[in-house]
C-alpha cells in the first residue's frame, strides 16, 4: 500500500473529541489493524485532543490540528495546538502533574505512552504544544481492501 496522509483542523470543543477519534480510526482502518491496535490509536488520539481542550486553551477555544500519516504498517499521528504551552514537559509526563494551573489528575500523557510505541512532546509556553505518536501495526492479514 502506498503512503497516505490525512489532515484535520477543528475548534477545541469537547464535542470534537469523538469526531477526532472516529476520523483517525476510520483513516487508519485502511491498514486493516487489529481491534486492540485500533483501540490503542483511538484512545491515544482521544487523550491528546482532550488535553488540548482542557489545558491548551483554558479560557477560550482555539484550533486543534491533527495530521495522520500511514507509512507501510507504521501509523504516525501529530496533534498540535497554539495554546498556552507546557513549561516543563518532563514533569507533565510524570503521573499526576498537569499544566496551566488546572486541578486535574494528569494521566493523559501516561495513557498515550501506554497505547503507542513512541511519543514525542514539544512545547513552548505561550506558543502551543505538538505531540507526535507512532505505532507499528502487525502485518496485513488479507482483510477487506488488502487483496
Active site residues: 47, 51, 104
- The per-residue DSSP string of 14-25 comes to TTHHHHHHHHHH
Can you tell me whether residue 118 is helix, strand or coil?
Answer: strand
Q: What is the distance between the alpha carbons of residues 122 and 51, in angstroms, rounded to a whole number?
A: 14
Q: What is the distance between the alpha carbons of residues 23 and 8, in angstroms, rounded to a whole number?
A: 9
Q: What is the distance between the alpha carbons of residues 77 and 44, in angstroms, rounded to a whole number?
A: 9
Number of H helices, E strands in the chain: 4, 5
H or E stretch at 120: strand 118-124
Amino acid at each position: 500500500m502506498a503512503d497516505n496522509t490525512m489532515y484535520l483542523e477543528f475548534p477545541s470543543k469537547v464535542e470534537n473529541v469523538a469526531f477526532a477519534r472516529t476520523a483517525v480510526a476510520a483513516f487508519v482502518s485502511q491498514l486493516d489493524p487489529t481491534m486492540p491496535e485500533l483501540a490503542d490509536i483511538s484512545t491515544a488520539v482521544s487523550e491528546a485532543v482532550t488535553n488540548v481542550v482542557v489545558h491548551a486553551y483554558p479560557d477560550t477555544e482555539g484550533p486543534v490540528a491533527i495530521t495522520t500519516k500511514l507509512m507501510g504498517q507504521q501509523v504516525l499521528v501529530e496533534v498540535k495546538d497554539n495554546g498556552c504551552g507546557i513549561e516543563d514537559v518532563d514533569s507533565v509526563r510524570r503521573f499526576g502533574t498537569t499544566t496551566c494551573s488546572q486541578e486535574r489528575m494528569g494521566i493523559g500523557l501516561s495513557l498515550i505512552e501506554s497505547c503507542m510505541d513512541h511519543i514525542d512532546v514539544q512545547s513552548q509556553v505561550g506558543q502551543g504544544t505538538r505531540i507526535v505518536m507512532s505505532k507499528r501495526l502487525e502485518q496485513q492479514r488479507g482483510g477487506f481492501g488488502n487483496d
